[in-house]
Structure 1
Amino acid sequence: MTDHHPHGPTAEAAHHHARGRAQQHAAAVERALAALDLDTKARLLSGQDMWTLPSVPAIGLRSLVMSDGPVGVRGQEWNAGDPSVALPSPTALAATWDPELARRTGHLLAQEARRKGVHVLLAPTVNLHRSPLGGRHFECYAEDPLLTGVIGAGYVRGVQEGGVGTTVKHFVGNDAETDRLTVDNRIAPRPLRELYLAPFEYIVENARPWGVMTAYNQVNGSTMTEHRALVQDVLRGEWGFDGCNVSDWMAARDTVRALRGGLDVAMPGPRTVYGAPLAEAVRRGEVAESEVDDAVRRVLLLAARTGCLDGVPAAVDPDGVPQGIDGRAVAREVARRACVLLRNEPVGGGRRALPLDAGAVRRVAVIGAAAREARVLGGGSATVFPDAVVSPLERLRAALPDDVEITFAAGAEPYSGVPLAREGFTLRTRYLAADGRLLAETAQQDGRVRVMGRFPDGVTRQNLSAVELTGSFTPQHTGRHTLSVSGTGELRLTVGGEALFDGRCAPGGADLFEAFLNPAERQVTAQLTAGERVDLTLRFVPDGAGSGEAPAALHFRLGHRAPQADAEAEISAAVRAAAEAEVAIVVVATTEETESEGFDRGDLRLPGRQDELVRRVAAANPHTVVVVNSGSPVELPWREQVPAVLLSWFPGQEAGAALADILLGAHEPGGRLPTTWPSRLDDAPVTTVTPVDGQLGYSEGMFIGYRGWQRSAAAPAYPFGHGLGYTDWEYESLDTTPDSVRVRIRNAGDRTGREVVQIYLAPTADAAPDAPERPARWLAGFAVVEAGPGESAEAEIPLPDRAFAVWDAEDRGWQRVKGVYLVEAAHSVDDRRLTAEVTVG
């Protein structure tokens, strides 16, 4: 995890160059600011639409474009018409424990952003895995603040080295989704500083981000868009953050309190608490124009850094940005490096279950709906649309020799709702005016129509009256098909000339964004005949149609499920396929119904009858390999009944290619768990994410994740840092000082491998009696090393001062805790190989 900084003349020249560029930016910002009147300045702090800030041609300021991340760059379109590279989930990236790989993903994302005309990426998400129930768990990195900060810093460096800004989010405490717009998270000073603020502090210090996004939630009584103590005093004052503070979308609520609290930009537009309301507040004397000027300076600086302000060069010269990056190759590399081999036991007294011997196996059963169509990314604002997804089934068929017989069985349906209409459908979307005139028409890959930020050319909020998803469907099976409609507004579904649904759908909760992402669903059925095409149309009249006040946004969908055999028959067919094969590969998965932005999880169980499917397949075939396709922990009650369990996370667009690489041994699984994997939800240290009377108490204090597990009588299924490879490592020596650790390890196996050397600190019994309460141990550093068979490798890992310090709330400062510490070199938090002592004075 060592931060590599160049030394010598090159570093000195780079420093002078950066300082000179910063001086140019400061001068350009002041010139631009001096030319602006109050109304223009206030307007600059307010989004002009969903994703952009206004331009001011008179000062050479172009419109600054933002886009959601973190696994891709969606751009201003929220549809498949503008495809994006889809990388694995942030949990997967953190599972690599490799900041340099994170940096290279940043280079790719910057390349994608430039291609799409995007100047600022709304990422990374560095909130912590406080509870496995957190709905956006998959979008965050880890349960440990150091690992989160190091991976996040690598990501930020990479994106900004590509000339594109980042907004590190969500500052701070947005660790769950339930009532996220209003919840008041009550966090004591020590955990706030040592856990939740720590990743942000690390990234500000080590990567100098150009932006931060403040969260919806409150912390200790103040909403984060108005939290002067944390934004102005800590983020800007103590840490020296000089970037732009952007609100989460629709999070800003009060003009004066937001400006005083340090919020620079209120998104999205056109109506926010800034703009005209801010100018009026200045005229009424409620805020000073100088306070507005400070915020405008930061917006202009962001524009200068990203090349949106004429007359001054951008922070990164165009010829200096990384270019020509193969997105598919990077996505595949991250996916396979992130795979965590949780379990790999011998089969029948022979060799371990993985990797498979492609030259020896002749019959393989591939089982699970997610094997045919993997879930490659999480639900919500992280959604992007890749131009193609490699499925596990497809890639295994291509990778195995032609004489290997592969059978497929879905086994158990993971969805309780109806999947998107896709196979057999030919669809297009028509945007209609009130008089029926066609405004625009676009091709459609599936049954989801979603716009967030910009309508197709020719369509506006004012002229749009209705949207039709129309086309035909040719079924493969005769019988009663299930169709579903969802959206917020009026919907009418016509199939073969018959209206099957005509009514209104409305959200059930107060979170409008959740309603947008996961709209209410209504189901109907239709008797259809195989091979007989039917015409169909789903007409949608969105709430607010014809109004120009709201941003360009709509979302509705058509779902389809073919007539299904009895669920028991589906599982029995999968069991028969497994019994007749030499190897059974079962892919189990979560769905958007269980893991998505907008809501927290209610349990950690795999949806549907997938657990039963695994048990019964394992009973039929002793060589059963289970691939877990989820972004965050799920219970694995059958894990000791199968010889191999492989975690793929949400693996991105190259899912199948990476999985085949790992299963067949072309590459080893390089991932280590960035979060503890519970046996049962009830054993986890934190299982409460629902506020009581508007407040959520972080009563566990410092003891989240492995810090909490170490105090529990229950053991997790798999500990923090765990992960197996295809080789074995011997830890040979450990030398330490109070400043650094040197670890020597040897590859004791017969193939090249990669190991993540983890360093933990633990206070000894010699600690002072008045020392503050601390976890049994905590991560202090790590490094990724690689070696061939029989070769040794050495890692030198710094021990930062902060690793020995605690936050003293009374003295309001970091205090170094003196005493004797154990320094532990480990394969995981529960697999510690070498120990030394160090005395800190």
Structure 2
Amino acid sequence: MPHDKHVDPLVDQMSLEEQVSLLSGEDLWSLPAIPRLAINKLRVTDGPNGARGSGTYVDATTAAAFPAAISLGATWNTDLIEQVGQAIAQEVKSKCAHVSLAPTVNIHRSVTNGRNFECFSEDPELTAALATSYIQGQQSEGVASTIKHFAGNESEFERTTINSVIDERTLRELYLRPFEDAVKKAGVWAVMSSYNKLNGTYTAENQWLLTDTLRNDWGFDGVVMSDWYGSRSTAPTINAGLDLEMPGPTRDRGDKLLAAVEAGEVSRDTIRARAMAIVKLMCRVGSIDDDQPFVERSDDQPSHRALIRKAGAEGTVLLKNQHKILPLNTTSCGTIAVIGPNAKTAQIMGGGSAQLTPHYRISPWDGLVAKLGEQGLVYAQGCSNYRWEPLHQGKTTVAFYDNQHWAGEPVYQEILDKAIAFWDTDFADNKVSKFNFSALINTTFDAPETGLYNLGFHCAGYAKVYLDGELVLDATTQWQKGRTFFEEGCDEIVVPLQLEAGKSYDIEIRFCNRQPDNIMVSGWRLGISQPLGNEGIQQAVQAAASADTAIVFVGRSGEWDTEGSDLENISLPGSQNQLVEAVLKANPNTIVVLQTGGPVEMPWLESVPALLQAWYPGQECGNAIADVIFGDQEPSGRLPQTFPRRWSDNPTHTNSPLNYPGQDGNVAYGEGLNIGYRHYDQHDIAPLFPFGFGLSYTNFELSDLVVNVNGQNRVAVTVTVENTGERAGAAVLQLYTSELSPTLQRPNKELKRFAKPVIEPGERASLSFTLTLRDFAYCDVESKGWRVNAGQFMVSVGFNAAQIDASAVITLEDDYQGY
């Protein structure tokens, strides 16, 4: 394998055409080879909670599904995150890929961002620390991490075109911090630009971002790639510092780039520098010599299973445990009513490009059965929580036509096992153009009962749906751009149907493509169901009343927490609040398990004795949750995001749509530095659960805080944590700093360090931290550096942002300017 010193001569052997060929993808997931120089393909795969491989978002080679990033963020465990990064790198190799498109490190600015589940935290320092460990784990395996989305992509509303207006100080202190540490501490090998504009310029052609900041300020020496279809120009992107346009075939480079060089718009030196970055990455990951056959494997490793289960449990947050109802005892818990829409459905991941096809899914019901057997369990769904009508399963035939009018004979036919398709660059055996095709789709539905059904359909394209030859749904004249298929599809259209038991209905869909606005995708999805009425809640009440304990599994799914679509509010979807309240009345010994990608409002919180937040914990979902419920694993998770009492308490919920979700193509980050717990501090708003909060099955106390300023611009902090409970547990200690009399606006406190020691009952752990002047500094935009003004500062330690147990005031005597 060539080393870096061999990159220069290798690139110099290339013709201009060969150099240019490396600057855009050959297809959806790879860069082209240059056989003349024995340069093999570089392949990438989506992450961050696994490695999907080259398959579609709905059908791919099976892969290990790890916990979503918000669940990993809740672990506050950098060592564990490094192990996860290593394991996902091994998964990347099983898919014959060299680059992982992860981690996602955008900040939880709003509680309604549809992609919060894919990001670690609302806090930049927690995010930076976890991202650094994740990257170090991946790259130790010779797989490149691609930290994303750089930058200002904190919502999914009009995300491919919106202009994020963020002042430089806020950018540097909050939204760029994880990227800075990824470069300086983890040495990340790749960065992905975001779709949006940043202060008026698309990030893929933003020289201040890609060159001035990333390369010149931080010293980045890797590859900058576009998000998929996120490059919109030729000369502006290449000159600004975007090395790689993805995916292929190219839209903006190739012949267009050669013409730009000929016209003097792009220099040959710039092309050479961009090609150098690509070849250097190929050397780092070994793809340059990787001539193995392309065969993706389903590599279901026992060690990965165990790690996923451990991480899923460790990310689970115990939010309430009145009368120590938890953990349950397997020998004395009695009968358990297992209730809720997420009880028998394993909600293991969010939606969008983070999706993959898992090796398996363990539902909460499965996990409880594995612990107790079925004999002591009763089940009731209670209500539904789906966003779209449940996907129709069954033989579905698709006939493709190489025109938009279903004319002539089909040029390709395929059979699906469910009524959903996602068509991007490679489909229909490449016998149709993605810009000019139509399809006839046929399936059948056998009605199990006579009654009312709902048929739901959405598509990226235009379609009409026929039932036994009669038009029942028109997604042509009714088509309006919505929040499906990465904002290229319409919202679901739902029509009621009166169907008869035992009758088989023929369903035909006449689909034709629509010219995409931004992301080159076509697709459709058909769902059908019988609505679950009030009788569902009554059945749940009966089950709860008959049991010793009720466990209610509620929340959302990857249909709600998904790329391309923000949430409209943070209420539990459907009738889930009514379900929880009804079960609590029937059985006061009720445990609620939430599975969401972020906060929800909880009008029933005062009545519930025990509450767990389990997020989307990966394929071992049910086992991980059961491990916590029965005490095999400590609930050592802590909230990486503040849970507000109501949506209106969130910093982005203002009277101005310009602040959120955006207006007239702009979104202004008007709250500045005060997001998350900083906002609640500033406005003296009591959250439902504060940042960093989480209970344990044991108790901890802090003592003996000592803070010393030494002569080397370092602040030494020591503190003792004692386990005063009866079982071992992991304490999450958080250290915050604040300036007492700032000359300009600063947050009341800022997280700077954290630790998670495991302590035996009755034992004490002494923790030490070293703070640098950077930890007390603010970004001084005018001098382009970091500044500390002489004065008094507070160092505080506690178990969450609202529980500060000890503080010390120190004096920093000299002004400081650093970079």
1:28 aligns with 2:3: no
Mapped contact 2:483–2:489 kept (Cα < 8 A): no
* Residue 612 of structure 2 corresponds to residue 635 of structure 1: no
Counterpart AA for 1:266: E
Partner of 1:705 in structure 2? 676
1:277-315 CA-partner distances (Å, limit 9, x unpaired): 1110110111211111111111111111121223999xx
Task: Indicate conservation of the 8 Å contact 2:483/2:490, yes or no.
Answer: no
1:180 maps to which residue? 159
Instruction: Name 1:316's counterpart in structure 2.
Output: none
Matched, 1:780 2:752: yes
From 313, 323, 326, the equivalent of 1:336 is: 313
**How far has the Cα of 1:634 moved from its partner?**
1.0
Deviations for 1:698-720, whole angstroms, at most 9, x for unmatched residues?
A: 22111111111101232000000
* Structure 1 residue 231: Cα displacement: 1.3
Determine helix, strand or coil for the equivalent of 2:114.
coil
Match of 1:543 among 510, 513, 520: 513
Is contact 1:270–1:551 with CA below 8 Å preserved after alignment? no
The match for 2:238 is 259
* Aligned with residue 102 of structure 1, among 81, 102, 113: 81
* Structure 2 residue runs without a partner (length 5+): 293-298, 403-407, 654-658, 709-713, 814-819
Distance 1:264 1:591, change over 3 A: same
Letter in 1 for 2:811: T
After the TM superposition, which residues 280-319 of structure 1 pair with which residues of structure 2 at under 5 Å, given as runs?
280-310=259-289
Tell me: CA distance 1:510–1:585, structure 2 relative to 1, closer, same or farther (3 Å). Answer: closer
| Structure 2 counterparts to residues 500-515 of structure 1, below 5 A | 504=476, 508-509=480-481, 514-515=486-487
Partner SS state of residue 679, structure 2? helix
- Alignment equivalent of 1:44, drawn from 14, 19, 22: 22
Q: 5 Å matches for 1:108-187?
A: 108-187=87-166
Partners of 2:475 and 2:599 in 1: CA distance:
38
The answer on 1:397 being equivalent to 2:397 is no
Change (3 A) 1:674 1:503: closer
For 1:550 and 1:60, the matched residues in 2 are separated by 35
Q: Post-superposition shift, 1:341?
A: 0.7
**2:449 is aligned with what amino acid?**
H
Q: Assess if the C-alpha contact under 8 Å between 1:94 and 1:674 holds in 2.
A: yes
- The 8 Å contact of residues 454 and 553 in structure 1, kept in 2 or not, is answered as no
* Deviation of the 1:474 alpha carbon: 4.8
Contact 2:89 2:143 in 1 (8 A): yes
Match of 2:621 in 1: 655
Letter in 1 for 2:22: L
Q: Which moved more, 1:448-457 or 1:34-43?
A: 448-457
Match of 1:376 among 333, 348, 358: 348
Structure 2 counterpart of 1:9: none
Counterpart-to-counterpart distance in 1, 2:386 and 2:518:
33
Deviations 1:479-531 (A, max 9, x none): 343333332335465667777557648752388952447654353525142xx
- Deviation per CA, 1:669-705, whole angstroms, max 9, x where unpaired? 1110011000011112222422233222222111111
2:685 is matched with which residue?
Answer: 714
Q: By how many angstroms is 1:332 displaced?
A: 1.3
Higher deviation after alignment, 802-811 or 473-482: 473-482
Residue of structure 2 in register with 1:527 after alignment: 499
Contact in 1 for aligned 2:481/2:488 (Cα 8 Å): no
Partner SS for 1:826: strand
**Greater shift in the superposed pair: 456-465 or 111-120:** 456-465
Counterparts of 1:382-531 in structure 2 under 5 Å? 382-401=354-373, 403-404=375-376, 406-415=377-386, 417-422=388-393, 426-428=394-396, 430=398, 432=400, 436=409, 439=412, 441=414, 444=417, 446-455=418-427, 461=433, 473-491=445-463, 493=465, 504=476, 508-509=480-481, 514-516=486-488, 520-523=492-495, 525=497, 527-529=499-501
Cα distance change, pair 310–409 in 1 and its aligned pair in 2 (3 A): closer
Alignment of structure 1 residues 45-84 onto 2, 5 Å: 45-78=23-56, 79-84=58-63
Identity value in percent: 35
Which is worse superposed, 262-271 or 138-147? Answer: 262-271
Is 1:754 the equivalent of 2:722?
A: no
TM-score with structure 1 length normalisation? 0.88
Deviation at 1:646, TM superposition (A): 0.6
- Distance in 2, matches of 1:836 and 1:370, equals 46
Query: C-alpha distance in 2, partners of 1:177/1:259?
Result: 26
Q: Indicate how the Cα distance of structure 1 residues 206 and 675 shifts in structure 2: closer, same or farther if over 3 A, else same.
A: same
Mapped partners of 1:365, 1:220: distance in 2: 53
Q: What is the aligned residue count?
A: 791
Q: Deviations over 1:412-438 (max 9, x none)?
A: 22235312124xxx3255454566567
Matched with 1:724 is: 695
Alpha-carbon distance in 1 for matches of 2:562, 2:145: 22
**What is the aligned counterpart of 1:610 among 576, 579, 584?**
576
Q: Which residue of 2 aligns with 1:646?
A: 612
Structure 2 residue aligned with 1:215: 194
Quote the residue 1:579 is aligned against.
545
Are 2:537 and 1:589 aligned?
A: no
1:37-68 alpha-carbon deviations (Å, 9 max, x no partner): 22232222122222222221112222222222
SS in structure 2 opposite 1:710? helix
SS at match of 1:126: coil
- Counterpart Cα distance in 1 of 2:509 and 2:269: 51
Identify which of 334, 345, 353 aligns with 1:362. Answer: 334
Q: Is the 8 A contact 2:400 2:428 kept in 1?
A: no
**Residue aligned with 1:87, SS:** coil
**Structure 1 residues 216-225 or 139-148, which shifts more?**
216-225
- Matched-pair contact (CA < 8 Å) for 2:599–2:643: yes
Question: For residue 525 of structure 2, what is the aligned residue in structure 1?
Answer: 557
**Bigger CA drift: 486-495 or 631-640?**
486-495
2: CA distance, partners of 1:97 / 1:783: 8
Work out which of the residue numbers 671, 683, 690 in structure 1 matches 2:661. Answer: 690
* Matched residue SS, 1:309: helix
- The structure-2 alpha-carbon separation of the partners of 1:356 and 1:61, relative to structure 1 and needing over 3 Å to count, comes to same
Return the offset for 1:576.
2.2
Q: Distance in 2 between matches of 1:323 and 1:203?
A: 29
Unaligned residue ranges in structure 1 (runs of 5+): 1-20, 314-321, 347-351
Rounded to whole Å, the distance in 1 between the matches of 2:519 and 2:157 is 24
Contact 1:488 1:507 survives alignment (8 Å): no
After superposition, the Cα gap between the structure-2 partners of 1:713 and 1:745, relative to the gap in structure 1 and judged at 3 Å, is closer
Q: Which moved more, 1:485-494 or 1:395-404?
A: 485-494
Q: Work out whether 1:834 is the aligned partner of 2:806.
A: yes
Change (3 A) 1:440 1:333: farther
Separation of aligned partners in 2, 1:368 and 1:361:
19
Q: Give the Cα–Cα distance (whole angstroms) in 2 for the partners of residues 203 and 82 of structure 1.
A: 30
1:327 maps to what in 2? 304
C-alpha distance 73-632 of structure 1, shift in aligned 2 (>3 A): same
Determine the structure 1 residue equivalent to 2:296.
none
Deviating more after overlay: 240-249 vs 618-627:
618-627
Q: Which amino acid aligns with 1:262?
A: G
Give the letter aligned to residue 49 of structure 1.
D
1:134-177 per-residue CA deviation (whole Å, 9 max, x = no partner) reads 22111111111000001111111111112211211111111111
Question: CA offsets, 1:339-386, max 9 Å, x none?
Answer: 01111111xxxxx12111222222211111111213221121111111
Offset of 1:211 from its aligned partner? 0.5
Contact 1:485 1:491 in 2 (8 A): no
Q: Partner residue of 1:3?
A: none
Deviation at 1:828, TM superposition (A): 0.5
Partners in 2 of 1:510 and 1:449 — Cα distance?
Answer: 17
User: Is contact 2:4–2:283 with CA below 8 Å preserved after alignment?
Assistant: no
TM-score (norm 2): 0.91
Residues 429 and 786 from structure 1, CA distance in 2 versus in 1: closer, same or farther, beyond 3 angstroms? farther
- Comparing 381-390 with 458-467, which one deviates more in the overlay? 458-467
Of 209, 231, 241, 1:230 maps to 209
Q: Is the 8 A contact 2:678 2:747 kept in 1?
A: yes
- Change beyond 3 A, Cα 1:826–1:590: same
Gap change, CA 1:778 and 1:676, over 3 Å in 2: same
In 2: Cα distance, 1:171 partner to 1:666 partner: 40
Tell me if the contact between 2:797 and 2:805 (Cα under 8 Å) persists in the aligned partners: yes
- Quick one: structure 1 residues 526 and 113, their matched pair in 2 at CA, closer, same or farther if it must change by over 3 Å? farther
